[in-house]
Amino acid sequence: MKSDLSPKEVDWPKVLGHDLSAPRTLPAGSGGVSVLAAADELASYQDLDLVFRRAVELARDRIGLERAAIFVYDQGGEHLCGTWGTGLAGETTDEHHIYFHEGFHHREAKAQVLSGVGRFIIFADVPLIVQVGGETRIVGHGWNAITPILGRSGVIGLLANDAARSGSPVDESKQVQAAIFCRLLGSVVDDIRRGTDELPWRSLLSRLPRVGEDDRDSLVISVVHAMHKDPTLSAQQLAKRFGLSASRLTRTFKDEMGVSLVSYKNRLRVERFFTLVAPGGGNLLQAALDAGFGSYAQFHRVFRELLGTTPREYLTGRK
């Protein structure tokens, strides 16, 4: 019901008195400020892989998590794919080669956040994992915290953290900060992925192919991870890296993915372009090069082939 009273300015000196002393400022905790500052930094980036890397580093440096790693769900939502993590020396580690089936701990954490019961879950006396030279090793047992990264349409991935380096106990205040951080991270990821909503194919940045159990599937997954990390890699370079001929690689990739390796790479680079280009297209050339294209002419040709119009026309037409 709307009030009939007209707005009236409050005369605070009259209400509180003229002898009121100046209020004291109480010290504020730094935890929340650190989380917000970390989220502000992530929001300034447009490359999804950079966001995940910096998120792991900020979780370490701003929140104080001893070791953290971020895993994202694949297209089927049953497998988790590595991005970046923290090693035993506190260094940032590349974990794109890791993928595994979602386990009980991951399902339980996801169910709790979706039901509103909790924002993170801590498991005791579980194996603590580290990546050494591209190999996964167990370095002991202890507690492990799993915090879902929640986006608008569901759980995007998980942040896992532990204290394998020091064996220190759980600091619940840091875990609460990590939960807030993951919720903000989910929004940042959503904003980046939204830049590819108008493309005539399902976003490649927001998903990875489902992981199979045979060697051929494992090869394709490894190739996809390599291209997401460096979209400038040619078929010849990829074939050399994985120890087979370029013809066999391209044939296997097409059989498993339903699209040629070249087409996949071109779509990936165009999507990355959309996450890098400024409103109005003021940095077309730089965004195209940063997305992995060798030249603007190559980018222009690929863009027109895929979207049927020029980059400038497409960008101004959708504004």
pLDDT tens, residue by residue, 232-267: 999 999 999 999 999 999 999 988 888 899 999 999
Q: Mean pLDDT, to the nearest integer, of 258-284?
A: 85
Q: Mean pLDDT, to the nearest integer, of 88-99?
A: 88
Determine contact, residues 260/247, Cβ cutoff 8 Å: no
Q: Which has the higher per-residue pLDDT, 282 or 203? A: 282
pLDDT tens, residue by residue, 147-197: 999 988 889 999 999 999 999 999 999 999 999 999 999 988 887 776 655
Write down all domains in the chain, each with its CATH number in brackets.
31-194 (3.30.450.40), 215-317 (1.10.10.60)
CA 46-38-170 angle, to 5 degrees, is: 130
SS3 179: helix
Please report which helix (H) or strand (E) contains residue 146, including its range. Answer: strand 135-151
Taking the C-alpha atoms of residue 94 and residue 98, their distance in angstroms, rounded to an integer, is 9
Kindly report the average pLDDT of the chain as a whole number: 83
Does 273 score more than 70 pLDDT? Answer: yes
SS3 294: coil
Does pTM top 0.75 for this prediction?
Answer: no
Determine contact, residues 199/308, Cβ cutoff 8 Å: no
Q: Which two tokens stand for residue 56?
A: 């792991």
